[in-house]
Amino acid sequence: MSSDWWRGATLYQIYPRSFADANGDGVGDLAGATAKLPYVAGLGVDGIWLSPFFTSPMRDFGYDVADHLGVDPLFGTGTDFDALLADAHRLGLKVVIDQVWSHTAAEHPWFEESRTSRDNAKADWYVWADAKPDGSPPNNWQSWMGGPAWRWEPRRRQYHLHNFLPQMPDLNFHCPAVQDAVLGIARHWLERGVDGFRLDTANLYFHSRGLQDNPPLPEGRRGDAPVLMQQHVHNADQPEAPAFFERLRAVMEGHGARMAVAEIGGAEPLPTMVGYTQGASRLHTAYSFAFLGERPSAAQVLRHLAPWGQGAGREAWPSWAFSNHDAPRVASRWGGGAAGAFAFGGQADAGRVDAGATPITWLALLLALRGTVFLYQGEELGLPQSTLAHEDLRDPYGLANWPLNPGRDGCRTPLPWQADAAQLGFSRAARTWLPVDPAHAPLAVDRQEADPASTLHATRRLLALRRAHPALRLGDLEALVAEGDVLVLRREHTDASGADALLLAFNLGASPATVPLPAASASAPGAAPLFTHAGAVLQGPQLHLPPGAVLFTRLA
């Protein structure tokens, strides 16, 4: 693949703890993931995003890193990772690994040294601040995991910043030595052969040096938790970030065809996504929580896409996800099941779940978008969100906010491989780290393999279309219809081999619709639809879309 292989690519997210357990301890591991790579390659994706497998105390299940270069024994060894990387490349899969650089675990050697005094060699590697005269924290910043974003350290008689758990202190990217150390981590993994990085909470790398209070959100926009009641103007999206990303891009350019994708949280992420990916010297791409909240209308879909068709956005490249390890599964959140109310990194919302759409509808829409696509494990099966008993919860956010918010465990339950096997084929252990969901048994991989009408087979067909059509991977996007829940798009790309133009139509709602199409959107003479779902029919200039219907066809 070319140096810009990531443009329009589809990457499959593997959350190792819940993907496949090879050693029978009830927790997924690298060897288990390696054994299942042929299945992943058989979907037709371009690569994988591998969530953290590094040495960690596991308070936040790997997103609290104690050694950025080590493999946690829970997941295996460095040799196991090298085997996964080699097998993935043999199968034609790129490997993008999570990098958690905004913070570390408290057990990290850097923090253990930094906390000892105000004058040690790493004293400035974390964000330290004096107490106010009354002993209270330096400002009003709130943690995404609950409570103030400051924790007192008696050895320094100072507070340290933690945007997440108190045991996850934030690094100080204003310190040049920190930037150099982080770039050293990047070089290590690039030299080891990975194809890129997913940068966790990339817009939190820098903070305002002045440590000013964050202003409140206007009434009507405030969420239910303190962290959702303020505008994060001083602890996120700081102007120093792009310069660091330019340093990172320069390192990556020296290692060939690699890519970096930033995770951008917050209530207004789209301008930051554009700013971080504009031109050829910053990050390659970025994604946000734009589609990880409530079900959008057709017009809202277009609003999320609009920044990349105008101004600076034309030089940038977005990424999109409808599900991941931080959000309720899209099949429930948008498609009629129990949604839950968790939207990590954005505004919590129970979502609109009255759609007549199915998981296939959402997969088709995701794979129709202009940008790079991330597909979360189980999304290809249409898995719904799991409901766990309180005693089974492991997520610190869910435990802190029960019963109003059950947290993230419901999207992290083990993947069902075999409907009739113990633990649905995920593990031979008597007990798994999160319980397998019996409701997932009918949707297990082996059941869907045997059903040509399954979500799994539809996913493969859609991914094959995206790989076969430059219009889907790279083409410009034009909205022909965006009314209520009906969205009709034109995707077109022209290169040396000719023009490729497609009409893509969706009914995201629960009511049937008949849409007259512009004359310029006539399908190619005699062309059969490339993909249909839920009874979509194109008859002359009329498009008939039952609830949840999808149609892909060539244009003349």
186-235: pLDDT as tens digits: 999 999 999 999 999 999 999 999 999 999 999 999 988 899 999 999 99
The 3-state DSSP class for residue 288 equals strand
Residue with tokens 């277009």: 302
Q: What is the pLDDT of residue 534?
A: 95
Greatest mean pLDDT range, 138-142, 334-338, 343-347 = 138-142
pLDDT digits (tens, 9 = 90+) for 297-340: 999 999 999 988 888 888 899 999 999 999 999 999 998 443 33
Q: What is the pLDDT of residue 342?
A: 42
d(CA 365, CA 361): 6
Name the H helices within 254-291. 270-277
Tell which residue, 128, 238, 125, 259, has the closest CA to residue 186.
259
pLDDT digits (tens, 9 = 90+) for 22-48: 999 999 999 999 999 999 999 999 999
d(CA 245, CA 304): 23
Q: What is the pLDDT of residue 526?
A: 65
Q: What is the pLDDT of residue 351?
A: 43
Angle of the 176-192 helix axis to the 241-253 helix axis, nearest 10 = 30
pLDDT digits (tens, 9 = 90+) for 355-380: 689 999 999 999 999 999 999 999 99
DSSP β-ladder status, 128-129 and 486-495: unpaired
Tell which residue, 205, 210, 186, has the closest CA to residue 197.
186
Q: What is the pLDDT of residue 267?
A: 78
Which residues are catalytic, by number?
Answer: 200, 263
Q: What is the pLDDT of residue 336?
A: 46
Cα 50 off chain centre by: 11
Contact 410, 392 (CB under 8 A): no
Residue type for position 505: A
The 3-state DSSP class for residue 75 equals coil
For residue 338, count CB atoms less than 10 angstroms from its CB and return exposed for 0-12, middle for 13-18, buried for 19 or more.
middle
The 3-state DSSP class for residue 504 equals strand
Edge-first strand order for the sheet with 158-161 is 128-129, 158-161, 150-153
| pLDDT > 70 in the chain, percent | 95
User: Given pLDDT bands bounded at 50, 70 and 90, which one contains residue 527?
Assistant: confident
User: Given pLDDT bands bounded at 50, 70 and 90, which one contains residue 349?
Assistant: very low
DSSP β-ladder status, 94-99 and 372-376: unpaired
Contact 283, 276 (CB under 8 A): yes
Q: How many beta carbons lie within 10 A of that of residue 219, not counting itself?
A: 6
Residue with tokens 């150390």: 181
pLDDT digits (tens, 9 = 90+) for 383-395: 999 999 999 999 9
Q: What is the pLDDT of residue 387?
A: 95
Residue 318 DSSP label: B
Q: What is the pLDDT of residue 541?
A: 86
Tell which residue, 455, 531, 473, has the closest CA to residue 10.
473
Residue 71 confidence (pLDDT) above 50: yes
User: Region 133-160: what's the mean pLDDT?
Assistant: 97
Q: What is the pLDDT of residue 22?
A: 98
Residue with tokens 């996850």: 168
Q: What is the pLDDT of residue 460?
A: 98
Residue 293 confidence (pLDDT) above 70: yes
Q: How many beta carbons lie within 10 A of that of residue 32, not counting itself?
A: 25
Q: What is the pLDDT of residue 341?
A: 39
For residue 302, count CB atoms less than 10 angstroms from its CB and return exposed for 0-12, middle for 13-18, buried for 19 or more.
middle
Q: Which domains does the chain have, with CATH numbers?
A: 10-105+174-462 (3.20.20.80), 476-554 (2.60.40.1180)
Contact 414, 439 (CB under 8 A): no
User: Region 79-96: what's the mean pLDDT?
Assistant: 98
Residues in Cβ contact with 503 at an 8 Å cutoff, skipping those fewer than 6 apart: 480, 488, 489, 490, 517, 521, 523, 538, 551, 552, 553, 554, 555
Q: Compute the mean pLDDT over every residue in the chain, rounded to the nearest whole number.
A: 94
Tell which residue, 344, 350, 334, 338, has the closest CA to residue 297.
334
Cis peptide before 403 (omega within 30 of 0): yes
Q: How many beta carbons lie within 10 A of that of residue 193, not counting itself?
A: 14
Distances (CA, A) of 246 to 372, 473, 539: 20, 26, 51
The 3-state DSSP class for residue 542 equals strand
Q: pTM here?
A: 0.95
pLDDT digits (tens, 9 = 90+) for 408-465: 999 999 999 999 999 999 999 999 999 999 999 999 999 999 999 999 999 999 999 9
User: Given pLDDT bands bounded at 50, 70 and 90, which one contains residue 354?
Assistant: low
pLDDT digits (tens, 9 = 90+) for 247-286: 999 999 999 999 999 999 987 899 999 999 999 999 999 9
